[in-house]
Amino acid sequence: MKFAELARYLQKLEGTRSRNEMTVILAQLFGQANPEDARLIAYLSQGRLGPAYASPDTGVADKMMVKALGPEAEKLFKKRGDLGLVVEKLKNSKLQKLKTNLDIKEVHQKLLEIAGTGGQGSQERKQELIRKLLDELDAVSAKYAVKIILGKLRTGFSDMTVLDSLSWMLAGDKSQRGEIEKIYNVRADLGEVAKQIKQTKNIKQIKMEPEIGTPVLMARAERAKNPGEIWARNGRCAVEYKLDGLRIQAHIMKSQISNLRSQINSKLKNSNIKLFSRGLEDVTHMYPDICEGLQKQIKHNCIVEGEMIAVGENGRFLAFQETVQRKRKYDIAAMAKKVPLKIYLFDVLLLNKTDMTHRTNMERWEELEKLVGPGRVVKLMPRIQIETEIEIEKYFKQALAAGTEGIIAKKLDGPYQAGARDFNWIKYKKSYTQSALADTIDAVVMGYDAGQGKRAGFGIGDFLIGVYQPDLDGFVTVAKIGTGLTDTEWRELKLKLQSAKTQNKPENYKVGKQMECDHWVSPKIVVEILADEITRSPMHSSGYALRFPRLVTFREKKPEDSTTVAEIKKMVKLQQERR
């Protein structure tokens, strides 16, 4: 497929606000593509050069792009404020005849070349590569190439809409979405999923298994209102500590048997360990001590999951605020000495070449016990097997005394359900006993208002938060928060807001008039919020409002993994039952 054809589809997508219409347009686009083009379209249509967890940054900002486009661009940019529109205007004014008509693969390769250019003189070389690429594109194609290079393509849909569109391509409706999502959950590379579907055209024939180097969407736990509910649902089960740390999925390649390294070397970038956060971010470089521990203590190729946390000299688990200090881009070695971490493993998803996700929890735990060798960094999650309801309550108290936030109960015969939240895992936290609200809420920051008085110094008066509504593939509001943050938290929030700021309200935001904001941000910032209770509210587009909401911390999650409207409704029900 020619890149010009993709550009025409991107123009259609930018011109619609209807989620269903976007789905149909994408289905048509994927329907016309061959398998390899479908893989690249899945990335490029969202402004990425690769899967979300491994998409290279081009390293090109507005200033460099203006230089690449020439002297006329600066004046036009001041008027239009969009360099995509600027290059389109410049190309149309020249009316030059194109000598080439690049296909999607050729453009993608040139974009990768721009991203891979570094070292001394790299800015000038990047500018030259940009000029050469744009010379070979028509006006509309150049507009979207520039938006992709700058990271400013705003098509208004997420991975979930792409999954809907692949179902629509196959069946003319969303009936296949559930099966396609199961494939994506096991191997979260949207391009690879699209390619496999195009190759087979029958999702029942697709067998996706965990692969070292590609993250698996993490399983999640449902909530229980008390230990009695855990016992009623699970009976005899395993109960583990629920640590308030950073959840990590570690991909470890120890051997070079067969062609394993050649298959995944590019994904691991010549390293034999990769660490992925809950939000599928590659955070390997931030935790050299954890990587060293995994290297020493684990002797097999595997994918394991656990919780990283700081531990005091007395053996007590420290607060999340201590652990999160380690998430940084700079001074990594110094901070590793100041705040050393341990990782407590609780699951194994792949062992050598065996997919473990379909094995029972008990079988996976037994393999994990054999997998972890002696050492100071890598530990097994504290866990017992309970036989009575009373034991659940006792272990809960023991967990709290150790500095945890509660417990997680797991069915002994349960599989690992990638990306799913169900009662195979049930969490019960200390916070459930302290408030009418059944749990904290993971919300997405949608926008903010300018500050006044003292708050003017931060540039924020309050910020709007929302939760995910899957059927819209969008976000609906639940609260505006203007109090309860420290000065440090306000400053941190402002930095995050600046990097996510967008000119217009994103198309997948549903916001009532009373909740409109001075400034809007892309759905990138996830915050953990505690509130006294949830009430019904006609002012909020979710239909619910948080009473006395306050920030607990920033969370490393994909926006689509934030609390959903359905979960809010469940929490309201639990809240009512506890009164």
The pLDDT value recorded for residue 262 is 42
In the predicted model, is pLDDT for residue 279 greater than 50?
Answer: yes
* Full DSSP string of 491-553: HHHHHHHHHHEESS--TTEE--GGG--SEEE-TT-EEEEE-SEEEE-SSSTTSEEEES-EEEE
Token pair of 77 as six digits: 């940019």
> Which range among 170-174, 223-227, 242-246 shows the weakest confidence by mean pLDDT?
223-227
Residue 254 or residue 426, greater confidence: 426
pLDDT in tens, 523-538: 999 999 988 889 999 8
The pLDDT-based confidence of 436 (bands split at 50, 70, 90) is low
Fold of 441-577: OB fold (Dihydrolipoamide Acetyltransferase, E2P) (2.40.50)
| pTM, 2 dp | 0.83
Average pLDDT in the chain: 90
CA distance 268 to 264: 6
CA distance 346 to 360: 13
Yes or no: say if 540 and 465 are a contact pair by the CB < 8 Å rule.
no
Neighbouring-strand partners of residue 422: 221
One CATH from 3.20.20.60, 3.30.470.30, 3.40.50.920, 3.40.50.2000 for 220-433: 3.30.470.30
The pLDDT-based confidence of 271 (bands split at 50, 70, 90) is low
In the predicted model, is pLDDT for residue 264 greater than 50?
Answer: no
Find the largest Cα–Cα distance for the chain. Answer: 80
Please state the domain extents for the chain: 220-433, 441-577
What residues are labeled active site? Answer: 242
Q: Which of 508, 531, 537, 538 is nearest to 520 (CA)?
A: 508
pLDDT in tens, 292-313: 999 999 999 999 999 999 998 8
Region 560-565 average pLDDT: 92
Region 455-470 average pLDDT: 86
The pLDDT-based confidence of 261 (bands split at 50, 70, 90) is very low
Region 158-180 average pLDDT: 94
Residue 321 or residue 292, greater confidence: 292
pLDDT in tens, 85-111: 999 999 888 766 666 789 999 999 999
The pLDDT-based confidence of 439 (bands split at 50, 70, 90) is confident
pLDDT in tens, 386-407: 999 999 999 999 999 999 999 9
Region 37-64 average pLDDT: 94
Region 1-24 average pLDDT: 92
Residues above pLDDT 90, as percent of the chain: 65
Yes or no: say if 478 and 441 are a contact pair by the CB < 8 Å rule.
yes
